[in-house]
Homo-oligomer: A and B are copies of this chain.
Amino acid sequence: MTGIDDVARAAGVSAATVSRALSGRGRISDATRVRVRAAAAELGYVVSSAASSLATGRTANIGVVVPLLDRWFFANVLDGIASRLAPRGYDITLYSMSDDPDQRAGVLDVSLRRGRVDGLIVLSLALSENEVDRLLSLGLPIVGLGATSGRLPVLRVDDSALARLATEHLLGLGHRRIAHIGFSLDGDPGFDIPSLRRHGFDAAMTDAGVATPLFAPADFTIDDGHRAAGALLDAADPPTAIFAASDEMAFGALFAARERGLDVPRDLSVIGVDGHEMSGFFGLTTIAQFPHAQGERAGEAVLRAIEEGTDAADQTLPFELVRRSSTAPPG
C-alpha cells in the first residue's frame, strides 16, 4: 500500500503538509492543496485508518448494537442508519447481542472497549441497569433506538400509547375478547418495548372494563406468532381479535386463522405493529412506525452528538394507525 511519504515525495512536500492537504485541517495554500490531492489521487492513496485513529483518537466508524440481524425491522433500521452515515464518511461496525450472558459480556466488556468506534447506536435491546452502566463507562456518544434505559439518550415511539391505540381500535369495533401476543421477559425490567406494549394493552383493556385480558407469549418471529395464535384459537373460548406486537407475529396469526378455516375479519380481527412491507398485501391493519426513517434519525443523532460533543437529545418518534381489511366488528 502506498503511504503518506510516497505522496509527500510525489508532491514535493512534507508528510505534514500532505496530512493537512488531505484532511482540510490547518492552514495550507490552495496551490499546495490541489497539487497534493492530485498526487494522492494519482497514487490511489487513502489514509490508514489505524494510524489516523491512533494519532487523532477518531475512528470515523460507528458501532451498531443489534439484538437480531435477521428480522425485517432491524434490517430496515440498519439500512436507514447506513444511508445517513456513509455519505458522511462513516463506516458501520455491527455488534450483535444475543441472550447468552457470556456473549453479551464479550460485546460489552471486550469488543466495544477496543476503541473501534466513535459512537454507538443501540437498537431496542432490553438492557439491565448493570449493562447500561457498562455501556456508559465506554465514555462514547450513544443513541438508543427504542426503549432502553432512561439513562441513555433515546429515540422512541411511545410504545404504551401505540399499544393503547391498537387496543382501542379493536375495542372501538366492539371486540371484548381481545388477546395480545407479545414477549414477556423474566425479571421484566418494565422498560423494554414488549413490556411497554403489553402494559399499554392491559391499561386500555382495564379502562374498558375487561379485567383479565388474554395474553400469549411469542418471540417476535412469524413461526412463534403462528404457534401462539394457534394456541389461542384452539382454546375453549377463543378471542375474536388479536393484537400482535409485531407484523411478523400478526402474519403468523393470519396463517393460523386460515389453517383453521377462520375468515379474517369475520371470525377474527388481527392488528399488528410495524408497517412491514408485506402488511399491505395481507390487508393487515397495523400501527406503522417507519423503521427506515428511525434509522436515519438515529444516524443523524449520533453524528451530531459526536461532532458537537453534546449528549443526544431524546426524541419521540411518530406512529400511525393504518386501517386495512384484517379488522372489523366481531361477526
Contacts and interface: CB of A to CB of B under 8 A. Distances in A.
Nearest to A75: B75
Nearest to A139: B1
Contacts of A96: 79, 82, 86
Nearest to A48: B115
Contacts of A109: 44, 46
A21 interface: no
Interface stretch (A29-37, A50-58, A149-157, A261-269): A50-58
Q: How many copies does the complex hold?
A: 2
A185 interface: no
Contacts of A44: 109, 113, 137
What bracket does the count of chain A residues touching chain B fall in? 35 or more
A110 B222 CA distance: 40
A325 interface: no
A116 B94 contact: no
Interface in A75-105: 75-76, 78-79, 82, 86, 91-96, 103
Most chain B C-beta atoms within 10 Å of own C-beta, residue among A59, A76, A116: A116
Interface in A174-226: 221-223, 226
A115 B251 contact: no
Interface string A107-119: 0011101111000
A17 interface: no
Contacts of A226: 281
Contact of A114 (B46, B113, B255): B46
A50 B46 contact: no
Nearest to A81: B69
A91 B95 contact: yes
B91 A91 contact: no
Nearest to A72: B72
A146 B252 CA distance: 31
12 contacts: A46-B110, A50-B51, A50-B54, A70-B72, A70-B75, A70-B78, A78-B94, A82-B96, A86-B96, A92-B93, A221-B277, A251-B281
